[in-house]
Amino acid sequence: MAGRNFYTILYVIATAICVGISVYLSYFGYYSHLQELTVFFALLLGILLFGTDMMFRHYRLEGRRVWVPLGFFLVVAVFSWASNYNFLYTSFMERDVAERTVVEQFRTFREDLTATRSALADHPTIREVREERRELERELSNLYQQLTDPVRPGCGQRCRGHVEQIEQLLGERVTDLAVPAVDASAEENEQWFASYRETVISAFEDSVDDEFYEVAGLAERIEQLLSDYADPYAALRREYEDRRRAVVETRGFEVIAQLRNYSADIQRQANALLPRGDEVEHRDIHSRLDNLGEIPLSIRDGFIERSHPGVTAVSSLLALFVDFIPILFAWLIFRPDNRRRMPSKPGFGLKRQGRGRVATP
């Protein structure tokens, strides 16, 4: 009797410890999915596991078939194992998964922004203004060559023709500055050309449609973002440094949220400026690190991508251990009493007699 009671107490304590560990792992393993409801779900799993373990012990002592409690236990154990494995795998692999995810999302972010920059560069307004600017620069260059020709210096007939061509491109007369005389000095020609060129460029920029500056400004912003988010490893180091300084570290990874917000904002602004049919579409910046610890992520990374098979195996075994040990322990130490066969009602076979016992020597 004393031995049986000792093993029973030992079994109950071991089961309570295993179920407690499983509840702890399930809480953090399901938190990314259930948030405030996680504590209730974890407690429910703990009650079902503990109750099933006790039922399995009872069936074992009574000599009854254990398939019913064992089947129910397997159903509960599937949910428990998923959360246990998720928490353990995430704990082992957080930095590795974070690094791979940040590098992947940086690549997506930069590729999408580069494609959007190219689409903006092909905007009709950009092409038109740049072509006009090239023609204007070409005429200014020809004007300068004529003005400073060492054989025939000064602004003669050809030089004045370039001035007229420039004013036609602008659609207005841009200056009342007197064209230097043919016999003007080289210094006077240089000063006049510098003033004239500055006035022409200023008039051209004033005549450009506002849409050009909106498109060009967005392209410059993209350039700045590409420069700011060029190194995923540096961004991840800064992220972890901020997390160490934080009082609570359950927040998501800010760098992924920043990439996602910038990507969505650039897409929205670009599509508002691009012609119909030329809109851009940015890929989703996944929130894998915002919710690092989700079960699908851990299972995919561990069993499909198989980045670290050893970590997957250890996490799986530990996740199974805490749930299955009480069942195996009960199977080992509890068994029905041998004094069990006696006649029963005709047609009903034999039935058991006596109480179960602990399987002690």
Write the DSSP string, 60-100: HHHT---HHHHHHHHHHHHHHHHHHHHHHHHHHHHHHHHHH
Q: How far apart are CA 81 and CA 26, in angstroms?
A: 8
pLDDT score recorded for residue 317 = 93
Dihedral angle sign, alpha carbons of residues 144, 146, 151, 154: negative
Letter string b/e over residues 211-228, b meaning 16 or more CB atoms within 10 A of that residue's CB: ebebbbebbebbeebeee
CA–CA distance, 93 with 301 (Å, rounded to integer): 10
The pLDDT, as a whole number, for residue 175 is 61
Pairing assessment for the beta strands 357-358 and 342-343 based on DSSP bridges? unpaired
The model carries a pTM of 0.58
Task: Say which range, 19-28, 185-194, 324-333, has the weakest mean pLDDT.
Answer: 185-194
Q: Looking at residue 15, what is its pLDDT?
A: 93
Give pLDDT, residue 272: 92
- Helices and strands in the chain: count of H runs, count of E runs: 11, 4
- Average pLDDT of the residues in 268-296: 82
Per-residue pLDDT band at 102 (split at 50, 70, 90): confident
Closest CA to 215 of 283, 274, 163: 274
Q: Which residue has the higher pLDDT, 101 or 146?
A: 101
pLDDT at 248: 41
Structure tokens at 345: 């009602």
Q: Dihedral sign, CA of 27, 32, 33, 34? A: positive
**Rounded (5°) CA angle 340-346-347:** 90
Per-residue pLDDT for 26 more than 60?
Answer: yes
Contacts (Cβ under 8 Å, ≥6 apart) of 282: 112, 116, 263, 264, 266, 267
Q: Which pLDDT score, from 0 to 100, does residue 41 have?
A: 92
* Reported confidence tier of residue 263, pLDDT bands at 50, 70, 90: very high
Question: What confidence category does residue 19 fall into, taking pLDDT thresholds of 50, 70 and 90?
Answer: very high
Please state, rounded to an integer, the average pLDDT across all residues of the chain: 82
Q: Average the pLDDT over each of 256-260, 280-284, 306-310 and give the range with the smallest value.
A: 306-310
Residue 347 sits at φ, ψ, to 5 deg, of 90, -5
Q: What is the pLDDT of residue 48?
A: 94
Q: Percent of the chain having pLDDT more than 90?
A: 33
The residue count of the chain comes to: 361
Burial-class residue 293 by CB neighbours within 10 Å (0-12, 13-18, 19+).
buried
Say which residue the tokens 């006790």 belong to: 54
Q: Which pLDDT tens digit goes with each residue over 308-357?
A: 888 889 999 999 999 999 999 988 888 876 554 444 455 444 444 445 55
The lowest-confidence range among 8-12, 151-155, 218-222 is 151-155
Do 139 and 201 form a contact (C-beta atoms < 8 A)? no
Q: Are 18 and 328 in contact (CB under 8 A)?
A: no
pLDDT at 138 exceeding the cut of 60: yes
DSSP 263-282: HHHHHHHHHHHSPTT----P
Q: Taking 60 as the threshold, does the pLDDT of residue 128 lie above it?
A: yes
Q: What is the pLDDT of residue 268?
A: 94
